[in-house]
């Protein structure tokens, strides 16, 4: 069984992203209230346009949902938020909230984020008619499932178009229009950052620091060295600890403890603050999020740590 969600989509957002063809997008809502629980990672999220353009015009593979401050959403996704600049996005939020005045410069509202990987944007001649059960009064969206006739027809229509769409996501297995299966999830940099940040409860895995602007989603095995944008290859670290981790002055032991190299003292004649955390147990991610992969941590110890 595959779950599908038709999200009511702001046409300017769709048009902007269709023009830059990103590897991931943030399908955001101006109101940051209520958690999105309609889909699981790997399910299908589709873009349902409004008004005269009312049709299903594209979609993506659902990766993660979050309620995040605008500053974090912009830092993680930039133009993949569907706006050319942060000031443009602030203006769009005010417009969609029907505010008469723009957001104040220091205002950092929480918005609803639905992170989609491998997005696709079809030309008009491939758009799919909206199912009959999708009421015009629906504001946010509606879920479907392939265990219903209507949901199965929708899945088959999507599958036909995906098969003819270059670089579009494909089912993990199964016949072209056969048994429905979930989609393979390939996280991008932004999805990795937000997923790791939420996975660790927005708290540094070593120090417990909760000041969001100085927390980084660190790759255990660097992306340039073959590491993936995968939650199991991530740790949420305070910025200074992240820097030392990347340089090899700190690592995580086989017993899941924080270790500081003697080289920190030898090279800089300092490091008292970090040696005080020596042996600290690394915090675990929240339930439902993958723990650091032992092979990734081993790679860091063997290839980065200065010992």
pLDDT winner (highest mean) among 95-99, 196-200, 223-227: 196-200
Give CA angle at 140 (136, 143), nearest 5°.
Answer: 85
Residue 186 binned pLDDT confidence (cut-offs 50, 70, 90): low
59: left (phi over 0), alpha (psi -120 to 50) or beta: left
| Res. 42: pLDDT tops 60 | yes
| Res. 177: pLDDT tops 50 | no
What is the overall mean pLDDT for the chain?
93
**Percent of the chain scored above 90 by pLDDT?**
86
Which tops the pLDDT comparison, 297 or 182?
A: 297
List the domains of the chain with CATH numbers. Answer: 3-163 (2.30.130.30), 190-303 (no CATH)
| Res. 235: pLDDT tops 80 | yes
Counting runs of H as helices and runs of E as strands, what totals does the chain give? Answer: 9, 10
The rounded distance, in Å, linking the Cα atoms of 226 and 22 is: 21
The answer for residues whose C-beta is within 8 angstroms of residue 76's C-beta and 6 or more apart is 26, 68, 189, 190, 193, 194
Residue 178 binned pLDDT confidence (cut-offs 50, 70, 90): very low
Nearest to 119, CA basis, from 63, 78, 171: 63
Q: Across residues 173-185, what is the average pLDDT?
A: 49
The rounded distance, in Å, linking the Cα atoms of 38 and 110 is: 20
69-106 pLDDT per residue, tens: 999 999 999 999 999 999 999 999 999 999 988 888 88
Helix or strand run (H / E) with residue 89: helix 86-96
Handedness of CA 91, 96, 100, 104 (dihedral sign): negative
Contact 165, 122 (CB under 8 A): yes
């Amino acid at each position: 069984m595959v779950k599908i969600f038709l999200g009511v989509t702001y046409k300017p957002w769709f048009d902007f992203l269709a023009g830059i063809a990103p590897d991931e997008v943030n399908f955001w809502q101006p109101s940051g209230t209520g958690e999105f629980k309609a889909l699981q990672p790997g399910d299908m999220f589709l873009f349902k346009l409004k008004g005269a353009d009312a049709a299903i015009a594209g979609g993506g593979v659902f990766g993660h949902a979050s309620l995040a401050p605008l500053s974090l959403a912009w830092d993680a996704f930039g133009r993949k938020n569907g706006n050319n600049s942060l000031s443009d996005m602030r203006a769009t939020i005010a417009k969609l909230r029907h505010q008469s005045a723009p957001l104040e410069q220091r205002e950092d509202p929480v918005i609803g984020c639905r992170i989609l990987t491998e997005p696709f944007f079809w030309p008009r001649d491939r758009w799919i008619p909206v199912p009959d059960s999708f009421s015009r009064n629906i504001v946010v969206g509606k879920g479907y499932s392939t265990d219903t006739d209507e949901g199965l027809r929708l899945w088959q229509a999507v599958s036909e178009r995906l098969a003819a769409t270059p670089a579009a996501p494909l089912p993990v297995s199964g016949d072209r229009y056969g048994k429905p299966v979930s989609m393979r999830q390939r996280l991008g940099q932004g999805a990795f950052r937000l997923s790791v940040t939420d996975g660790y409860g927005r708290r540094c895995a070593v120090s417990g620091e909760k000041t969001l602007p100085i927390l980084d989603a660190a790759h255990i095995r660097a992306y340039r060295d073959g590491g993936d944008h995968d939650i199991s290859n991530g740790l949420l670290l305070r910025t200074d600890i992240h820097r030392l981790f990347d340089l090899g002055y700190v690592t995580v032991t086989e017993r899941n403890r924080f270790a500081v190299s003697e080289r920190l003292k030898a090279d800089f004649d300092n490091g008292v603050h970090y040696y005080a955390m020596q042996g600290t147990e690394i915090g675990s991610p929240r339930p439902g999020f993958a723990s650091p992969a032992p092979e990734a941590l081993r790679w860091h110890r063997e290839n980065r740590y200065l010992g």
